[in-house]
Chain A
Amino acid sequence: MRATDPRTPPGPFRPGAFRSPLHHEWLGAWLGIALGVTFTVCFLTGLLSHAIQHPPAWFHFPARPASLYRWTQGIHVATGIASIPLLLGKLWTVYPKLWRWPPVESVAHAIERISLLPLVAGSVFLLFSGVFNTFHWYVWPFFFPAAHFWAAWMTIGALIVHIGAKYPIARDAVRSPPVETVEERDADGLRRRDFLRTILAASGALTLVTIGQTVTPLGRLALLAPRKPDVGPQGLPVNRPASVARVERLATDPTYRLRVEGNVRTPLSLSLADLRAMTQHDATLPIACVDGWSVSAPWRGVRVRDLLAMAGAPADAAVRVESLEPSGRYRTSVLDASHASDRDTLLAMQLRGEPLALDHGYPARLIAPSLPGVLQTKWVGRLVVL
Chain B
Amino acid sequence: MNHREEAHYGALFWAGVAVGWAFIAFAIWGVFHTAPESKPVALAEWILGGLLVHDLVVAPLAFVVGYATRRRLRGAARAGAQFGLIVSALILAYAFPLLFGFGRRASTATVQPQNYTLSVIVVLSAVWVVAFAVVLVRARRSER
CA distance A128 to B51 in the complex (A): 11
Binary per-residue interface labels of chain B (10-51) against chain A in the complex, 1 for a CB within 8 Å, 0 otherwise? 101111110111111111101100100111001100111011
Cβ of B34: which chain A residues have Cβ within 8 Å of it?
A: 146, 150
Q: How far is the CB of B57 from chain A (nearest CB, A)?
A: 12
Binary per-residue interface labels of chain A (146-186) against chain B in the complex, 1 for a CB within 8 Å, 0 otherwise? 11011111101111111111111100000000000000000
Binary per-residue interface labels of chain B (97-111) against chain A in the complex, 1 for a CB within 8 Å, 0 otherwise? 110001111011111
CB < 8 Å neighbour of A84 from B1, B20, B46, B90: B90
CA distance A150 to B83 in the complex (A): 36
Q: Which residue of B lies closest to A236 (CB)?
A: B110
| A237 contacts chain B at the CB level, 8 A cutoff | yes
CA distance A109 to B7 in the complex (A): 11
Cβ of A95: which chain B residues have Cβ within 8 Å of it?
A: 55, 59
CA distance A189 to B55 in the complex (A): 24
Cβ of B14: which chain A residues have Cβ within 8 Å of it?
A: 164
Cβ of B50: which chain A residues have Cβ within 8 Å of it?
A: 121, 124-125, 128
Binary per-residue interface labels of chain A (178-205) against chain B in the complex, 1 for a CB within 8 Å, 0 otherwise? 0000000000111000110011011001
Q: How far is the CB of B70 from chain A (nearest CB, A)?
A: 7
Q: Which residue of B lies closest to A120 (CB)?
A: B51
Known: A129-B46, A239-B108. A198 touches B16 (CB 8 A): no
Q: Is A227 in contact with B113, judged by CB distance below 8 angstroms?
A: yes
| A112 contacts chain B at the CB level, 8 A cutoff | yes
Q: Is A136 in contact with B130, judged by CB distance below 8 angstroms?
A: no
Mostly, the A contact residues are: helix
Binary per-residue interface labels of chain A (59-96) against chain B in the complex, 1 for a CB within 8 Å, 0 otherwise? 00000000000000000000001001100110110010
CA distance A307 to B126 in the complex (A): 54
| A280 contacts chain B at the CB level, 8 A cutoff | no
Cβ of B22: which chain A residues have Cβ within 8 Å of it?
A: 157
Q: Is B23 in contact with A88, judged by CB distance below 8 angstroms?
A: no
CB < 8 Å neighbour of B59 from A92, A115, A157: A92
Q: Is A164 in contact with B97, judged by CB distance below 8 angstroms?
A: no
CA distance A169 to B5 in the complex (A): 9
Q: Is B38 in contact with A142, judged by CB distance below 8 angstroms?
A: yes
Q: Is A161 in contact with B127, judged by CB distance below 8 angstroms?
A: no
Cβ of A124: which chain B residues have Cβ within 8 Å of it?
A: 50-51, 54
Q: Is A154 in contact with B23, judged by CB distance below 8 angstroms?
A: yes
Q: Is B93 in contact with A140, judged by CB distance below 8 angstroms?
A: no
Q: Which residue of B lies closest to A155 (CB)?
A: B27
Known: A124-B51, A164-B20, A166-B8. A143 touches B111 (CB 8 A): no
Known: A164-B16, A188-B78. A136 touches B38 (CB 8 A): no
| A34 contacts chain B at the CB level, 8 A cutoff | no
Known: A135-B98, A163-B16. A151 touches B47 (CB 8 A): yes
Q: How far is the CB of A118 from chain B (nearest CB, A)?
A: 6
Cβ of B38: which chain A residues have Cβ within 8 Å of it?
A: 142-143, 146-147, 150
Q: Which residue of A lies closest to B59 (CB)?
A: A95
Q: Is B120 in contact with A224, judged by CB distance below 8 angstroms?
A: yes
Q: How far is the CB of B80 from chain A (nearest CB, A)?
A: 9
Known: A88-B90, A92-B62, A206-B90. A164 touches B12 (CB 8 A): yes
CA distance A161 to B14 in the complex (A): 8
Known: A142-B43, A151-B47, A188-B75. A228 touches B27 (CB 8 A): no
Q: Which residue of A lies closest to B36 (CB)?
A: A143
Q: Is B79 in contact with A194, judged by CB distance below 8 angstroms?
A: yes
| A337 contacts chain B at the CB level, 8 A cutoff | no
| A4 contacts chain B at the CB level, 8 A cutoff | no
CA distance A300 to B2 in the complex (A): 69
Binary per-residue interface labels of chain B (66-90) against chain A in the complex, 1 for a CB within 8 Å, 0 otherwise? 1001100111101100110011001
Cβ of A166: which chain B residues have Cβ within 8 Å of it?
A: 8
| A131 contacts chain B at the CB level, 8 A cutoff | yes
Known: A165-B8, A188-B79. A98 touches B55 (CB 8 A): yes
22 intermolecular pairs with C-beta atoms under 8 Å apart? A89-B86, A106-B1, A106-B9, A118-B24, A132-B102, A135-B103, A138-B103, A147-B31, A147-B37, A150-B30, A153-B27, A157-B25, A188-B76, A198-B86, A202-B86, A223-B114, A224-B123, A225-B114, A226-B98, A226-B103, A237-B110, A237-B113
Q: Which residues of B contact A (CB under 8 A)?
A: 1-2, 4-10, 12-17, 19-28, 30-31, 34, 37-39, 42-43, 46-48, 50-51, 54-55, 58-59, 62, 66, 69-70, 73-76, 78-79, 82-83, 86-87, 90-91, 93-95, 97-98, 102-105, 107-114, 116, 119-120, 122-123, 126-127, 130
Given A91-B54, A205-B123, A206-B90, list of 11 further CB < 8 A pairs?
A106-B6, A147-B37, A166-B8, A168-B8, A194-B79, A198-B82, A202-B90, A202-B91, A224-B91, A228-B110, A241-B108
Closest 4 CB pairs of A and B: A164-B16, A157-B23, A137-B103, A161-B20
